[in-house]
Amino acid sequence: MAATQSLPIMHLSLITGGVLRDGAGGQLGRVDDVVVRLGADYPVVSGVLATVAGRRVFVPAEVVREIGHGYVELSEVRLDLRPFERRPEEVLLKQDVLDRQLINVEGARLVRTNEIELARVDGWYRVVGVDTGLRGLTRRVLPRRLAPRVQLGRFLDWASVEPFTGHVPTVRLRVPHPKLARLHPAQLADLVEAASHREGEEIMSALADEELEADVFEELDPQHQREFIEERTDAEVAAVLARMESDDAVDMLGELDEDRRRRILELLPPLQARRVRALAGYDPATAGGLMSPDFVCLYATATKREAVGRIRRDQVKPNSVTSIFTMNLHRRLQGEIRLADLIRAEDDDVLADLATLKPRVVSPDTEVEEIARLMTDYDLTIVAVTGAKGELIGVVTVDDVLELVLPRGWRRRFDLFGGE
């Protein structure tokens, strides 16, 4: 906000309801709302809506000479008498944003817009900030002549917030919101769960990155997963599931009725479908139900160079490669190498010589409490799951265990909602 701190600040509540006047000071009508175009860090005012002779008209920004508290003054009288129609990415500040929730991207929380602040920057009037404290609300109920005396409290730079535009169906935006990409999937899931259903839909629709969308679905609680997948087609649900971790995909499929589950499974890529079917046969509270089939396991005779090449080629999530595993010629699990030790090794070092750890293993029917004890006792972040012949069939990571053993409603939501 450094670029705008020294500029005169106007407040929306003191602009709307003011006078629309010509360059000579003559009164033309009443200012009803301010229209801005989203997209930039500081959205540009594209015009104002006003009532003139009982008719609502649009005044383009090009003929606005000055905006101030209590008035909007024109350089020339040019009014668009046609019914107002929004252009793409346009919102009405009073109707669509004031008294609504915004996403505070810097704090990853929802805040209420109690006042909107504008300034003239680079030749155009722009939105530069919002007030989310109670003072912004208080000044709006005072007489207009007293309101400026109330100093605003919790001010947020507009560049750090993201507005919802779904309050009016015709304004719903289907464009990426770059600011949201700064947040972790868990933070985005918290926002979706805290927002109204319509606002949650807008957050999800703004995640143009399909991988990020899948990551957010993994973090949502079952209730919200159900809400969003019920409104999507089978093909859309399958596209999300194809990008999710197999164990999370199984959990989400479990929320569907049997007929729809079967249809969606048929739409999954063959590899993901096989993995999901295999995991679906296990109890969700056991190692089999928790495990991911994504891991790196090579013959003990391989070299560090070959192991690194495999990691580069495989699309394995980072939390599943904190360790890599070795097996003998009969594919029986043999050793474990921490990723840090692998990185420190020479390219031609053989994995059998690097595997200094004896893998801690569980069977597919091992219950989650036993896995948690094993991880705690040996400071593990990943546990190997082996089949009847000692072959590695999956890995359980600590995040999946924590999700089950921590109390219901465990997400930290401190300061999720803004306040004074």
Rounded to an integer, what distance in angstroms lies between the CA atom of residue 248 and that of residue 289?
A: 10
CATH class belonging to 297-405: alpha beta
Give the position of tokens 């029917």. Answer: 365
Rounded to an integer, what distance in angstroms lies between the CA atom of residue 15 and that of residue 66?
A: 11
Structure tokens at 25: 């000071």
Structure tokens at 263: 């249809």
Residue 113 clears pLDDT 90, i.e. is over it: no
Q: What is the structure's pLDDT at 108?
A: 66
Q: What is the mean pLDDT of residues 161-165?
A: 57
Domain coordinates in residue numbering, the chain:
10-158, 174-281, 297-405
**pLDDT, tens only, 251-303:** 888 888 889 999 999 999 998 898 898 888 888 889 999 998 889 999 999 99
Q: What is the mean pLDDT of residues 125-137?
A: 73
Residue 334 clears pLDDT 90, i.e. is over it: yes
The gap from C-alpha 232 to its chain's centroid, in whole angstroms, comes to 18
Q: What is the mean pLDDT of residues 337-363?
A: 94
**pLDDT, tens only, 23-48:** 888 999 999 999 998 877 788 999 99
Residue type, 363: S
Single pTM value for the model: 0.60
Residue 222 clears pLDDT 90, i.e. is over it: no
**First and final C-alpha spacing in the chain:** 20
Q: Regarding beta strands 19-21 and 71-74, do their DSSP bridges make them parallel or antiparallel, or are they unpaired? A: parallel
Residue 209 clears pLDDT 80, i.e. is over it: no
Residue 5 clears pLDDT 60, i.e. is over it: no
Q: What is the structure's pLDDT at 299?
A: 96
| Fold exhibited by the domain 174-281 | MgtE N-terminal fold (1.25.60)
Which element (helix H / strand E) includes 334? strand 333-338
Structure tokens at 399: 């995040």
Percent of the chain whose predicted confidence (pLDDT) is above 70: 82
pLDDT band at 152 (very low <50, low <70, confident <90, very high): very low
pLDDT band at 129 (very low <50, low <70, confident <90, very high): confident
- The pLDDT mean for the chain works out to 82
The gap from C-alpha 93 to its chain's centroid, in whole angstroms, comes to 23
pLDDT band at 7 (very low <50, low <70, confident <90, very high): low
**Of the listed ranges 4-8, 62-66, 130-134, 400-404, the one predicted with least confidence:** 4-8
CATH class belonging to 10-158: mainly beta
Burial of 115 (0-12, 13-18, 19+ CB in 10 A): buried
Asked if 334 contacts 297 with a C-beta cutoff of 8 angstroms, the reply is no
Q: What is the structure's pLDDT at 414?
A: 42
Q: What is the structure's pLDDT at 174?
A: 33
Asked if 34 contacts 61 with a C-beta cutoff of 8 angstroms, the reply is no
> Could you tell me which residue, 52 or 107, shows the higher pLDDT?
52
Q: What is the mean pLDDT of residues 115-143?
A: 73
